[in-house]
Amino acid sequence: MPPLQFAPFSTLVSPAFWHKLTDLKIDVLKLSDDALPLTGSYTAGRGITDRETGAEVRVGVSKVTLGRGEEEGGARHAAGVTAVGSFKNFNTVEEFKALDKTRYFDEEAAKIWHSIHTTRSTTDLTRFFLITFADLKKYKYFYWFGFPAFVSKPNWEITEAGWQPVSTVLDLGQLDTISAHLRAQPTTPAFFLIKKAGDAVSVGRVEDYEEFFGVSATATATTEEHLIAFTDPSSSPTHPGWPLRNLLAYLRALHPAASSRVRVVRWRDADYVGGAGGGNGGYGHVASASGDPTPPKPGAVGWERNPQGKLGARVADLGPMMDPERLAAQAVDLNLKLMRWRILPGLDLERVKETRCLLLGAGTLGCYVARGLMGWGVRTITLLDSSTVSFSNPVRQPLFEFADCLDGGKPKAECAAAALKRVYPGINATGVNLSIPMPGHPVPKGQEAKVKEDVERLEKLFDEHDAVFLLMDSRESRWLPTVLGASKGKIVINAALGFDTFLVMRHGVRAKDVKGGAQRLGCYYCNDIVAPGDSLTDRTLDQMCTVTRPGLAPIASATAVELLTSLVQHPEGVHAPAPNPSTELAPTTSYAEQGGSVLGEVPHQIRGFLAQFRNLKLVGHGYDRCTGCAESVLEAYEKEGFDMLLKVFNDQKYLESLAGLDKLAEEGEAALEAVDWDEDGDGEDGDDF
């Protein structure tokens, strides 16, 4: 009799699996190379008839479609056989290549053999495994499947008649009965038993072999009424599918006397079985050649061959197939998520990503802050500015170029937002051309409606964002955003430049929102004893331009961005207390253990001195007579709205009176008058100096 030959599995891996592997590697596995469970499926092979020639064409649908379990879109479905397996991803391609593959394969095969003898379940007979290396920079995935199948010695043989149409042993009525039984199961079984009794037929589990067939453990053979069936993934008319190998090994191991000769049905569903034509089903009589039928542990084969027909790994290159914008999004997230592998496992990147940032000012500071936020994965950035790009801007402001200066210059905010989208199309960047009303800059009667509209638009922008950066050129332009930020409870980050010095600070919450026992942190105006006024009129050229050392703005901008991210990571958020000024340095990983941000300290103010290449961390307490965050100012704004703001714009003295600074001046003068100056000197020459 000719030897029985088998058709190996041929895998088909959905691109969605590689996307899931990417997410799994970055977010869950990280540096772990532990084996994980995997679920796959295969379907029965089929044949179709060519409509033009009438010839039968065999369609190879032997496949494994992968998913990481049912909860993640696994490939389990009623029309396919579910197969369980394992998955192991290596951290480097060198580890992937250096794996002792013979040993690894034998260990996986041993699990199947152990399962046969311990649980007697057929579930592991279709067990498979997958080893991979994912190059997430290039989106190339090296992978190799193994389908361990035991080698029978002596070999199995098939009678000279070979594989016959299944209709030679089962009529259409019996096939319909079997099909109905199988379709009633949650999933298509990989293996099952068929017992004929006249025209009737019944279906049983392979695990119930002796009970179902009514034979003893010492029975030497089954009758013609007893059939062993399996769902056959092979479409070949002469070579049955790979699962039959392990089914025969299972029978020889557990029922050696009764399985020397077996009648096998290659099941491909009754819907595809023709009557006299034979269809796709198959029936054959196979036997084991003479020899020892029960080796202690048979060898196994089953590495999948690559497309060149050689034993070797395959490569899935998804780079050319992927949407470039999606590639960019995954690449942006990749570098950030790598921080959590070794350095900062507790880093909450989603919290940073979801922070909606409003940048007031699209100049030198605004451009650098926007790029820094993008680097941290922030997806929503709105820039606000009222000026246009001038010829002096592109060399200092990285979101602009020479072409933006032509024809009078493009609006800065809109131009910067467009540049961000060119850098990364996935960013939700918006430019708003708007002028912020300021104290000390009176509003003409004819402009009040327009200014009110601008204020309302600015208020809406504050409502739509979580963090606000004050990056403007003048001191008074920061007043209205300071009031809005305090009133609406927003994170406010302030950055200001001198020639070789900078200030970066976060505003504290308003007095009534301070948590019990905490010290209120001040805002940009808490050290002032006068209200902000007009600083833009009557300026020389060097005062009209931002004259700073070119490297200062990137340093201040980066500091402002890092201050925001540290604050967002702090468990108390905007209420985070400021650390005491100290020169002591501590490891970054220790801050979270002390109840702070995982990124380190969250200072109140950082003052940088470029001439000395040093920074100072300072704490400024909130002032109850501050023109920007005093409760009297905030309550007046919340009660009167634009009417109160209009008074501030038109009259500097009104704001000082509202905050109580006028009384402070009076108190100071009264104190001076109350001093008893000693005008008579005690020295011999009457001179104390």
* Residue 168 belongs to domain spanning: 11-318
Query: Residue 651 domain-assigned?
Result: yes
**Catalytic residue, candidates 526, 545, 626, 629:** 545
Integer Cα distance of 465 and 160 in angstroms: 79
CATH of the domain at 389: 3.40.50.720
Using 50, 70 and 90 to split pLDDT, how confident is the model at 67?
A: very low
pLDDT of residue 56: 45
CA-based nearest residue to 351, from 325, 379, 371, 384:
379
Q: Give the tokens for residue 347.
A: 């880093």
Do the bridges between strand 226-231 and strand 191-197 make them parallel or antiparallel, or are there none, so unpaired? antiparallel
Dump pLDDT digits (tens) for 118-173.
999 999 999 999 999 999 888 899 999 999 999 988 889 999 999 999 989 999 89
pLDDT of residue 58: 43
Q: Are residues 314 and 380 in the same domain?
A: no
Give me the sheet containing 380-385, strands edge to edge: 428-433, 380-385, 357-360, 467-470, 491-497, 501-506, 605-609, 614-618
Using 50, 70 and 90 to split pLDDT, how confident is the model at 60?
A: very low
Of the three residues 318, 347, 367, the one that is the final residue of a domain is: 318
Contact predicate 151/298, CB 8 Å? yes
Is residue 65 over pLDDT 70?
Answer: no
**C-alpha pair distances (Å), 267 with each of 11, 81, 222:** 20, 12, 19
Integer Cα distance of 355 and 335 in angstroms: 19
Contact predicate 35/87, CB 8 Å? yes
- What residues contact residue 596 under an 8 Å CB cut-off, 6+ apart? 570, 576, 579, 602
Cis peptide before 154 (omega within 30 of 0): yes
Integer Cα distance of 303 and 145 in angstroms: 6
Q: Are residues 378 and 489 in the same domain?
A: yes
> What is residue 473's three-state secondary structure?
coil
Q: Are residues 506 and 459 in the same domain?
A: yes
Fill in the DSSP letter of residue 660: T
Q: Are residues 26 and 175 in the same domain?
A: yes
Integer Cα distance of 439 and 481 in angstroms: 12
Provide DSSP, 362-400: -SHHHHHHHHHHHHTT--EEEEEE--B--TTSTTT-TT-
Tell me how many domains the chain contains: 2
Torsion of CA 99, 102, 107, 112, to 10 degrees: 130
Dump pLDDT digits (tens) for 589-629.
566 566 578 888 899 999 999 999 999 999 999 999 999 99
Contact predicate 545/448, CB 8 Å? no
Identity (one letter) of the amino acid at 62?
S
pLDDT of residue 516: 82
Integer Cα distance of 547 and 549 in angstroms: 7
Is residue 227 over pLDDT 90?
Answer: yes
673, HSE (Cβ side, Cα atoms, 13 Å): 6
pLDDT of residue 69: 41
Q: Calculate what percentage of the chain has a pLDDT beyond 90.
A: 59
pLDDT of residue 76: 40
Integer Cα distance of 4 and 282 in angstroms: 14
Query: Residue 676 domain-assigned?
Result: no
Query: Residue 43 domain-assigned?
Result: yes
Q: Which H/E stretch holds residue 480?
A: helix 479-488
**C-alpha pair distances (Å), 137 with each of 32, 327, 330, 425:** 18, 10, 9, 19
- The overall average pLDDT reported for the chain is 86
Q: Are residues 154 and 18 in the same domain?
A: yes
Q: Are residues 404 and 515 in the same domain?
A: yes
Q: Are residues 185 and 80 in the same domain?
A: yes
264, HSE (Cβ side, Cα atoms, 13 Å): 29
CATH of the domain at 227: 3.40.140.70
Query: Residue 327 domain-assigned?
Result: no
Cβ–Cβ contacts within 10 Å for residue 348, how many?
Answer: 13
Is residue 61 over pLDDT 70?
Answer: no
Query: Residue 119 domain-assigned?
Result: yes
Integer Cα distance of 429 and 409 in angstroms: 20
Q: Calculate what percentage of the chain has a pLDDT beyond 70.
A: 85
- What residues contact residue 540 under an 8 Å CB cut-off, 6+ apart? none
Q: Are residues 311 and 341 in the same domain?
A: no
Q: Are residues 294 and 399 in the same domain?
A: no
Is residue 273 over pLDDT 60?
Answer: no
pLDDT of residue 352: 95
Integer Cα distance of 650 and 646 in angstroms: 6
Torsion of CA 71, 72, 78, 79, to 10 degrees: -170
- What residues contact residue 677 under an 8 Å CB cut-off, 6+ apart? none
**Residue with structure tokens 């080893």?**
131
Query: Residue 682 domain-assigned?
Result: no
Q: Are residues 158 and 227 in the same domain?
A: yes
Torsion of CA 333, 338, 344, 348, to 10 degrees: 20
Is residue 272 over pLDDT 50?
Answer: no
What phi and psi values does residue 433 have, to the nearest 5 degrees?
Answer: -90, 100
Tell me whether residue 545 is one of the annotated catalytic residues: yes
Give the chain's radius of gyration (CA, Å).
39
Integer Cα distance of 457 and 680 in angstroms: 64
CA-based nearest residue to 418, from 406, 405, 427, 408:
427
Phi-psi region of 116 (alpha: psi -120 to 50; beta: other; left: phi over 0): alpha
Query: Residue 302 domain-assigned?
Result: yes
Identity (one letter) of the amino acid at 244?
L
Q: Which H/E stretch holds residue 543?
A: helix 541-544
Integer Cα distance of 216 and 222 in angstroms: 10
Q: Are residues 22 and 79 in the same domain?
A: yes
Query: Residue 656 domain-assigned?
Result: yes
Q: Are residues 133 and 39 in the same domain?
A: yes
